[in-house]
Amino acid sequence: MKRTVFFISDGTAITAETLGHSLITQFPDVEFQQVRLPFVDTEMACLEAVHAIDEACERDEAPAVVFNTIVNAQLCEIIGTSKGVILDLFGAFLTPLEQALGVEHQPTVGQAHAVDNFDRYEDRMDATNYAMKHDDGISVDFKDADLILVGVSRCGKTPTCLYMALHYGVKAANYPLTPEDLDEMRLPGFLRRYKYKLVGLNLEPERLAQIRETRKPGSRYATLRQCRQEVDAAESLLRMEGVPLFETTHSSIEEISSRVLLQLGLQREMF
Amino acid sequence: MKRTVFFISDGTAITAETLGHSLITQFPDVEFQQVRLPFVDTEMACLEAVHAIDEACERDEAPAVVFNTIVNAQLCEIIGTSKGVILDLFGAFLTPLEQALGVEHQPTVGQAHAVDNFDRYEDRMDATNYAMKHDDGISVDFKDADLILVGVSRCGKTPTCLYMALHYGVKAANYPLTPEDLDEMRLPGFLRRYKYKLVGLNLEPERLAQIRETRKPGSRYATLRQCRQEVDAAESLLRMEGVPLFETTHSSIEEISSRVLLQLGLQREMF
């Protein structure tokens, strides 16, 4: 069964897509075609959206599902004239939220992913620069780091650091354990000093070999034997040093990031 | 007025936080204290959450608001025993969604931000590596790029590329227009060849000067005069070359990313 879903918003449509995507994962037997329609903030844009929705309904011979976060009631009405099933993600919660808070909401368009707090936005940009400069051992001055991910080469440190920096404004550095570190079975001094900021990542050697093989095919670096040695040594070293360690083989960067922030008690707001 | 909001989930809590954050932006007069509780997937974890919620209600002398995306009904019931106002983000939409699709949902825990599609996840990781290697003119081989952001130094290219790569698996490169490019008033050959992949970013000279000043205080590079020259020249050059241009002074990377993807017709799924 194939069905089209639309994520429609007067802003980026990120909120609509995030909740909509979460909901459709609960229907694994349906094949979804996903269409994002951001910045639908005029009558004309709404009419175009209605046209696209109706076309999808005809093509699928079944109603499209529309995850809508448009704030303006008149524009929502236009979307409502389509043949799709409209799920109004904001509308459903604004009334109970008003009741809970005891105040009325003030309709503001496209604020969810706008720069509403300038300082916090700057923190995110600064943290992203920091992560770029403290990636992969480029700089090992970890004085200003909020956290430092350690692990063998290609275990997922870089994208996880970038994700935490971009979203949470966390100054996340990372350091790849070198063959020398693993031979000597001790952390270098510039890491030991900040042990309380360290979190280790590790993964199954088979998966590591697969990742490395796509990057350096046929290299010694990518052999299962080499990967197994490094993974085992890294685990022993980090356990010995008392560094918390996460298995990442089946985890996404979102999951690893959430666990790392929880582990270190870094309660930062997202966005 | 100060109120505590909780984002509770059996997974990363990213969905709860994304929708919850969007909703509370509609109440600008309330000061919200935001608490993220991810991986609440056992009875014990739920009881701890209830305790935290009740404490917040007492502290604020008003009910906390709980944005909940826990899938398991028994665990939701435990959260429901708290003194908070529970907004069940999944529950509200699963029934209408089942009706629209004509099938029942299959409760799966924490799937929203898990690696449910391995190939797509790999695309995101590859794109992130690509963005790192094609940042700031490090490599100007743009053969495999899905898009190339151009603009003056410090106009927001790097974080925007990283965001698009991490979330949408888009191979986003960027190239800073150099003083030479701006003097000669023409794009270098390695960009001209891929003109259809180019998007320009520009911003107000005052803002650019402010950003550069925090990075290189007192430099000529950060003077308003220099910034104004570069911004004007970049705008002239990009308009002359017919490159679409976005003003980014008041835009977040989420907004810029959405506009860039829309401009180039890159309809990629998020996550």
- Tens of pLDDT, residues B220-239: 999 999 999 999 999 999 99
Judged by CB atoms closer than 8 Å, whether chains meet at B115 and A1 is answered as: no
DSSP string, chain A: -EEEEEEE-SS-SHHHHHHHHHHHTT-TTSEEEEEEE----SHHHHHHHHHHHHHHHHHHTS--EEEE----HHHHHHHHTSSSEEEETTHHHHHHHHHHHTS-----TT-TTS--SHHHHHHHHHHHHHHHHTSTTS----TT-SEEEEESTTSSHHHHHHHHHHHH---EEEEEPPHHHHHHTS--HHHHTTGGGEEEEE--HHHHHHHHHHHSTT-GGGSHHHHHHHHHHHHHHHHHTT--EEE-TT--HHHHHHHHHHHHT--PPP-
Q: Do B63 and B185 belong together in one domain?
A: no
Q: Is residue A110 part of a domain?
A: no
Chain segment A93-103, per-residue pLDDT in tens: 999 999 999 99
Q: Is residue B251 part of a domain?
A: yes
Strand order in the sheet with A85-88: A31-37, A2-8, A65-68, A85-88
* A268 compared with B260, residue with greater pLDDT: B260
Q: Which domain holds residue B130?
A: 118-264
Q: CA dist B184 to B180, B187, B207, B237, Å?
A: 6, 8, 25, 9
Q: Is residue B26 part of a domain?
A: yes
Q: Could you tell me the two tokens for A172? A: 């996340």
A-chain residues within 8 Å CB-CB of B112? 18, 21-22, 25
B265: number of Cβ within 10 Å: 6
Q: Do A155 and A96 belong together in one domain?
A: no
* Nearest Cα to Cα of residue A256 among A151, A140, A139: A151
Is the pTM higher than 0.90? The answer reads: yes
Q: Do B22 and B95 belong together in one domain?
A: yes
Q: Is residue B269 part of a domain?
A: no
Q: How many domains does chain A have?
A: 2
Predicted local distance difference test score (pLDDT) of residue B1: 80
Q: Is residue B72 part of a domain?
A: yes
Judged by CB atoms closer than 8 Å, whether chains meet at B115 and A252 is answered as: yes
Q: Classify B22 as helix, strand or coil.
A: helix
A54 phi, psi to nearest 5 deg:
-65, -40
Q: Do B92 and B165 belong together in one domain?
A: no
Which residue of A3, A103, A129 is in closest CB contact with B27? A103
The distance in angstroms from the start CA to the end CA of chain B is 36
Where b means 16+ CB within 10 Å and e means fewer, A1-13 reads eebbbbbbbbbbb
pLDDT > 90? residue B62: yes
Q: Is residue B110 part of a domain?
A: no
Q: Do B138 and B258 belong together in one domain?
A: yes
Judged by CB atoms closer than 8 Å, whether chains meet at A65 and B100 is answered as: yes
Predicted local distance difference test score (pLDDT) of residue B177: 95
By residue count, chain B amounts to 271
Q: Do A72 and A134 belong together in one domain?
A: no
Judged by CB atoms closer than 8 Å, whether chains meet at A26 and B87 is answered as: no
Q: Do B16 and B69 belong together in one domain?
A: yes
A66 phi, psi to nearest 5 deg:
-115, 115
Q: Nearest 5 degrees, angle CA B15-CA B20-CA B22?
A: 100
Q: Is residue B202 part of a domain?
A: yes
Average pLDDT, chain A: 94
Instruction: Identify residue A21 by its one-letter amino acid code.
Output: H
Q: Do A158 and A238 belong together in one domain?
A: yes
Predicted local distance difference test score (pLDDT) of residue A137: 93
- What burial class does residue A220 get, using C-beta atoms within 10 Å of its C-beta: 0-12 exposed, 13-18 middle, 19+ buried? exposed
- What burial class does residue A54 get, using C-beta atoms within 10 Å of its C-beta: 0-12 exposed, 13-18 middle, 19+ buried? middle
Confidence grade of residue B109 (pLDDT, cut at 50, 70, 90): confident
pLDDT > 90? residue A120: no
Which residue of A15, A110, A124 is in closest CB contact with B19? A15
Which residue of A28, A87, A114 is in closest CB contact with B96? A87
Give mean pLDDT, residues B20-28. 93
B148 phi, psi to nearest 5 deg:
-130, 120
Confidence grade of residue B241 (pLDDT, cut at 50, 70, 90): very high
Q: Do B49 and B138 belong together in one domain?
A: no
Predicted local distance difference test score (pLDDT) of residue A117: 78
Judged by CB atoms closer than 8 Å, whether chains meet at A85 and B71 is answered as: no
* Nearest Cα to Cα of residue B38 among A142, A173, A64, A259: A259
Q: Is residue A269 part of a domain?
A: no
A-chain residues within 8 Å CB-CB of B115? 250-252
Give mean pLDDT, residues A137-145. 96
Q: What is the percent of chain A where pLDDT is above 70?
A: 100
Q: Which of A51-55, A118-122, A183-187, B126-130 has the lowest mean pLDDT?
A: A118-122
Q: Do A62 and A138 belong together in one domain?
A: no
A-chain residues within 8 Å CB-CB of B63? 100
* A184 compared with A271, residue with greater pLDDT: A184
Q: Do A159 and A231 belong together in one domain?
A: yes
pLDDT > 80? residue A110: no
**If you count residue pairs, one on A and one on B, with CB atoms under 8 Å apart, how many are there?**
223
Q: Do A228 and A187 belong together in one domain?
A: yes
A-chain residues within 8 Å CB-CB of B132? 132, 135, 158
Residue of A nearest to B96 (CA): A87
ipTM of the complex, rounded to two decimals: 0.92
pLDDT > 90? residue A108: no
pLDDT > 70? residue B271: no
Judged by CB atoms closer than 8 Å, whether chains meet at A162 and B166 is answered as: yes
Give mean pLDDT, residues A108-120. 78
Most confident of A266-270, B18-22, B117-121: B18-22
Judged by CB atoms closer than 8 Å, whether chains meet at A129 and B158 is answered as: yes
- Supply the CATH number for residue A17's domain: 3.40.50
Confidence grade of residue A113 (pLDDT, cut at 50, 70, 90): confident
Which residue of A14, A105, A267 is in closest CB contact with B254? A14
Predicted local distance difference test score (pLDDT) of residue A155: 93
Q: Could you tell me the two tokens for B29? A: 């007069």
CB A168 within 8 A of CB A264: no
Would you state the torsion angle of the CA atoms of residues A18, A20, A26, A28, taken in this order, to the nearest 10 degrees?
Answer: -100
DSSP 3-state helix, strand, coil percentages of chain B (rounded to 5)?
Answer: 50, 15, 35
